[in-house]
Amino acid sequence: MTQPFSYKLLAQDGAARLGEIATPRGVIRTPAFMPVGTTASVKAVFLDDVKAAGSDIILGNTYHLMLRPGAERIAKLGGLHSFMRWDGPILTDSGGFQVMSLAQLRKLTEKGVTFRSHIDGAMYELTPERSIEVQNLLGSDIQMQFDECTPFPATFDEAESSMRLSLRWAERSLAAFAQYGRPGRALFGIVQGSTFPELRRESAAKLTSMDFHGYSVGGLAVGEGQRAMFDTLDFTTPLLPTNKPRYLMGVGTPADIVGAVERGIDMFDCVMPTRSGRHGQAFTWAGKLNIKNAAHIEDLRPLDETSTCPASRDYSRAYIHHLFRSGEYLAPMILSWANIGFYQELMAAIRKSIAEGTFADVAARVRAVYPSTVEDDAGADAEAARSLKSK
Amino acid sequence: MTQPFSYKLLAQDGAARLGEIATPRGVIRTPAFMPVGTTASVKAVFLDDVKAAGSDIILGNTYHLMLRPGAERIAKLGGLHSFMRWDGPILTDSGGFQVMSLAQLRKLTEKGVTFRSHIDGAMYELTPERSIEVQNLLGSDIQMQFDECTPFPATFDEAESSMRLSLRWAERSLAAFAQYGRPGRALFGIVQGSTFPELRRESAAKLTSMDFHGYSVGGLAVGEGQRAMFDTLDFTTPLLPTNKPRYLMGVGTPADIVGAVERGIDMFDCVMPTRSGRHGQAFTWAGKLNIKNAAHIEDLRPLDETSTCPASRDYSRAYIHHLFRSGEYLAPMILSWANIGFYQELMAAIRKSIAEGTFADVAARVRAVYPSTVEDDAGADAEAARSLKSK
């Protein structure tokens, strides 16, 4: 019998939750960080190393994969897991966010979105029904409803009509998902409503009345700043059921993650560890460092001597610095791997601390070297307010 | 007591030699292929995978390393082995070849070469004494005399004076090397003389009268074509002592290697497996394939199902094709690794066949899928002849 999809809350420390998501392809320990495998590859890192770093689940992007190599082709080749050689669970987004940020000639209607591929100019249509079909062709274990990620800033009226469109698409997504009847696969609803408590409340109330396996908080990490994101989580996560997992999409920095766990979030994904790695930024327990900086040119210390990740532990900073200066492939390879290693160590430390009731200590340790950007966001908030007023 | 440098001839099959080079850092099984770690990195491949593929020794480029990060800096940081994390033997070239192909404002005198760095425009001088100093600062196990790689085509007079300059530099290199007195480190002389038997004979006679640990055949694989290269080996390798290793620099294709082993060569280096890998070319026992070709788009076969290399065996051609089309780092990572794997499998098969007296079978098997380019070279020969006449 197939293991059904289920979430078990194991411990709490304040609002922070330690849990386990069971899937037919294995257990996901939460809070979990999901490395992003955009186009069927976690950029510059072998999946064996992604796995060994402690990743229980990775993410694939529906938009990228449906354009190339194509969802029907991946299905024909045996599904995304076998295609990219990952036997653990895979979560896919709905494609909606990237259509709006990457595709050309977008046209959004009640039915869905038509757009032109940024790769070859071909025209595509993405609807709730097609998004769910694509995610099932890929063989995704945790699928997302098709939604509109409300841009930030948005007026109340804009945010309201966008959120209600996403609610109607949620119903259609759920109906489409029901047709596939693959036991163990899960579909998450996505709470929208921008930074407006009343709209988040309406979105959460409607979505939790539908039969989703978990809930995402969408429309954040889109420029609103950490303060507004935390404020939104403060009034949004209490609206979500305690017996289902909660996923904050596209987040974030170590400080973002700690702050969101503190507010009851269970799942995260972000390109930050790999993208930063390609650009010479290393995450360590002593803070972030720019390995391209001349200060590292003769520094024989590893990135992080306390790390269990070979990439963080075995190469000197001087060597990695040299590799970046020389434009060697090995530079992003080592640093992307090391950053995945750090993110998973962070999640492991968070999980352990929740079990032990010492989450505040880990949070303080992270904040000491990854200062919250809440204060830096004053400017962003003011900017957003100005932008709204001028609408 | 430090293991001295030594060569042991274990078996012969015709002129093909099975042997072992003992060094303080480990044994090199010959015929050996040495992956090229230009700037302290075998491009896009982790050294653990280079090692596991069966590489006993890698090569570092003196020219690149002296410019960046600098020989004195590498020495200060503990030497090249520790810098790049390779505990096996390392062979370095003398820097001369790349000065002539990469540097700007070159000026060659009896003393040596002055040149402008292609990286930052700084002026450098490379002499036999400085080349040996740099190679010792790097901590190289097998060092090369400083020589001039005679360009091809060259007139007899040009080739003669170039070869004699290299002979004078050989004596100075040997004197410089003697000063370091590091037991177990080796210095190779380099036989020059272009494609002229009389000059090769003079070069070999003089060099073998000096106390080198091994002999390189230089000035080949520089555009003369496979026919001229094989012809030159035919009259050059019999001039070399049987109790010392022979290294054909910068070679080559699988057919080149088989033909050179057949003529008594023990050591090879070439960027071909990694460079081809970055450009989508895969070497397999069924021949070379271009993974970017549309024929592979839905091909679920691995690159080479008979391979013991994970990179050749574990990923489908369809997946690697997709990675190249998507511009993913993982594409050159997988293919460079797979090609190093193939080259080392080729060398292992060659060694086994010499021990068993069946080298001709392996040579035939390789030639069946990697046709000799001897006939293709007719054009190159004619071109070279015309070029010489016009001088």
Q: pLDDT tens, B54-101? A: 999 999 999 999 999 999 999 999 999 999 999 999 999 999 898 888
Nearest CA distance, B43 vs chain A (angstrom): 6
pLDDT of residue A1: 55
Residue A216: strand pairing partners = A190, A247
Catalytic residues of B: 93, 269
Query: Residue A3 pLDDT > 50, yes or no?
Result: yes
Q: pLDDT tens, A114-148? A: 999 988 889 999 999 999 999 999 999 999 999 99
pLDDT of residue A389: 43
Cβ pair A76:B300 closer than 8 A:
no
Query: Residue A91 pLDDT > 50, yes or no?
Result: yes
Residue A284: strand pairing partners = A287
Nearest to B77 among A43, A298, A315 (CB): A298
Provide mean pLDDT across the span B363-387: 67
Q: Give the CB-side neighbour count of residue A17, counting CA atoms within 13 A.
A: 24
Cis peptide before A302 (omega within 30 of 0): no
Q: How many CB pairs under 8 A join A and B?
A: 94
Lowest-confidence pick of B28-32, B349-353, B387-391: B387-391
ipTM: 0.95
Give me the amino acid identity at B148: E
Q: Yes or no: say if B224 and B384 are a contact pair by the CB < 8 Å rule.
A: yes
Among A131, A140, A132, A33, smallest CA distance to A86 is for: A140
Among A41, A45, A23, smallest CA distance to A32 is for: A23
What letter would DSSP give residue A280?
Answer: T
pLDDT of residue A388: 46
**Residue written as token pair 């790999």:** A274
Provide mean pLDDT across the span B152-176: 97
Nearest to B298 among A44, A73, A329 (CB): A73
Q: pLDDT tens, B232-266? A: 999 999 999 999 999 999 999 999 999 999 999 99
- Chain B partners of A138 at a C-beta cutoff of 8 Å? none
Q: Yes or no: say if A127 and A135 are a contact pair by the CB < 8 Å rule.
A: no
Nearest CA distance, B322 vs chain A (angstrom): 6
Query: Residue B344 has which token pair?
Result: 């080392």
Nearest to B84 among A46, A319, A333 (CB): A319
What's the predicted TM-score (pTM) here?
0.95
**Phi, psi (degrees; rounded to nearest 5) at B11:** -160, 155
Most A CBs within 10 Å: which of B330, B334, B337, B340, as the mutation test of the A interface?
B330
- Chain B residues bordering chain A (beta-carbon distance below 8 Å): 39-41, 43-44, 46, 64, 68-69, 73, 76-78, 83-85, 297-298, 300, 314-316, 318-319, 322-323, 325-326, 328-330, 332-333
Query: Residue B105 pLDDT > 90, yes or no?
Result: no
Residue B93 assigned ligand-binding role = yes
Catalytic residues of A: 93, 269
Rounded to a whole number of angstroms, the distance between the first and last alpha carbons of chain A is 56
C-alpha B153/C-alpha B189 separation (Å) is 22
| Structural domains of chain B, ranges and CATH numbers in brackets | 32-270 (3.20.20.105), 277-374 (no CATH)
Within 8 A by CB and 6+ apart from A34, the residues are: A55, A57, A58, A59, A91, A267, A268, A269
- Chain A residues bordering chain B (beta-carbon distance below 8 Å): 39-41, 43-44, 46, 64, 68-69, 73, 76-78, 83-85, 297-298, 300, 314-316, 318-319, 322-323, 325-326, 328-330, 332-333
Q: Which residue of A has its CA nearest to B70?
A: A322
Q: pLDDT tens, B5-58? A: 999 999 999 999 999 999 999 999 999 999 999 999 999 999 999 999 999 999
Give me the amino acid identity at B70: G
Lowest-confidence pick of A78-92, A257-271, A369-383, B13-27: A369-383
Q: What does the radius of gyration of chain A's CA atoms come to, in whole angstroms?
A: 20
Provide mean pLDDT across the span B205-213: 97
Q: Which residue of B has its CA nearest to A321?
A: B69
- Chain A partners of B102 at a C-beta cutoff of 8 Å? none
Q: Yes or no: say if A278 and A332 are a contact pair by the CB < 8 Å rule.
A: yes
C-alpha B201/C-alpha A178 separation (Å) is 82
Most A CBs within 10 Å: which of B36, B77, B335, B336, as the mutation test of the A interface?
B77
Nearest to A326 among B68, B319, B332 (CB): B68
Confidence category of residue B375, pLDDT binned at 50, 70, 90: low
- Chain B partners of A323 at a C-beta cutoff of 8 Å? 40-41
Q: Which residue of B has its CA nearest to A84?
A: B319
Looking at per-residue confidence, does B265 or B374 come out higher? B265
Query: Residue A104 pLDDT > 90, yes or no?
Result: no
Q: Which residue of B has its CA nearest to A37?
A: B328
Percent of chain B whose pLDDT exceeds 90:
89
Most A CBs within 10 Å: which of B51, B312, B314, B328, as the mutation test of the A interface?
B328
Sign of dihedral through CA atoms A160, A166, A169, A173?
A: negative
Nearest to B322 among A43, A69, A325 (CB): A69
Q: pLDDT tens, B311-335? A: 999 999 999 999 999 999 999 999 9
